[in-house]
Amino acid sequence: MSRSRIFVSRPRLPGPGVELLASRYQVVQWHDDTAPGPDDLRELVRGCDGALLLGNDRVDAALLDAAGGGLKAIALASAGFDAVDQDAARARSVVVTHTPGVLAESTADIALSLMLMARRRLGAAVDSLRRGGWRSFQMDGYLGLDVHGATLGLVGYGQIAQAVARRAAGFGMSVQHHARTRPGDAYSRAVGLEELLRTSDIVSLHVPLTPETTGLIGARELALMKPTATLVNTARGAVVDEAALLTALRTGALHSAGLDVMNDEPRSDPADPLFTEPNLVVLPHVGSATERTRAAMVEHAARNLLAVLGGDPALTPLPGTPATY
């Protein structure tokens, strides 16, 4: 039995994935609920044949060099991979994998939840109730805007966005999307980005974080949207200019917004402007946070490692990267 070493970057992960690895390899796990810093990662990955990391663990040249020449594969328990220096991994022949598709349906549920919470002002209503603010029934109290029958614009049209489009059909929504390579289908029609922003009642973001999508929704794009519109982001925080979003909400240029992602995650200051804006609902990156989905992500990442270390192609290597070591 091989006793090659695999580093796992969190002390507890759902499902049987870590047990699968431990049945064949020596597993070294991070010991603290606080995420390991770059120095910790570099130290603990040293001498390992593989690593199971989360999507926000930075994979760069320094980490890969610290691991040494024996590192064959890094498996992310994440669909996103913007924290990976792909050029550095390719130069060192390290296979990097991710978990696309595994979390699409659960994340689509959260996108729809944010539409409902933000547009119907449910977050503000719950806050008011908890503060004792509901003293009488008023016909003009807690008024929001309808989600059923609204026009939904999806920026990006991958697996998550397509799952959102299917759900939107049940709400009688008219769906349109903007994507470079995705034509229309039975659930959505393809339009240009500016048309989508101008005509949608709800804009939901579903693009990966790349140099082209960083700051994709800024002051100019928000100004194109209806003052009655809602912005939802379950993609990556840096796709949206947070300062511009807050300004649009505070000035009434935008009705509401719902975020599952932010810049500089995690954030915990109760006085953070994102947490105090009444027309903004913010969640702590829980798009994939169901027991079944998170367990499936970890198990899929583990099976990617088992495949590569066993001499087989990875199940889901990063797009455009080698599948074998």
Which residues belong to the active site?
A: 236, 265, 285
Tokens representing 320 are 């455009």
Cα dihedral sign, 119-123-128-129? positive
Q: List, in order, residues 6 or more apart from 122 with CB less than 8 Å away.
A: 116, 144, 281
Tokens representing 180 are 């470079």
Backbone phi and psi for residue 196, each to the nearest 5 degrees, phi listed first? -60, -45
Classified as helix, coil or strand, 9 is coil
Pairing of strands 174-178, 26-29: unpaired
What is the DSSP code string of 258-299?
Answer: EES--SSS----TT-HHHH-TTEEE-SS-TT-SHHHHHHHHH
Residue 226 CB neighbour total at 10 angstroms: 17
CA-CA distance, 95 to 313, in Å (whole number)? 9
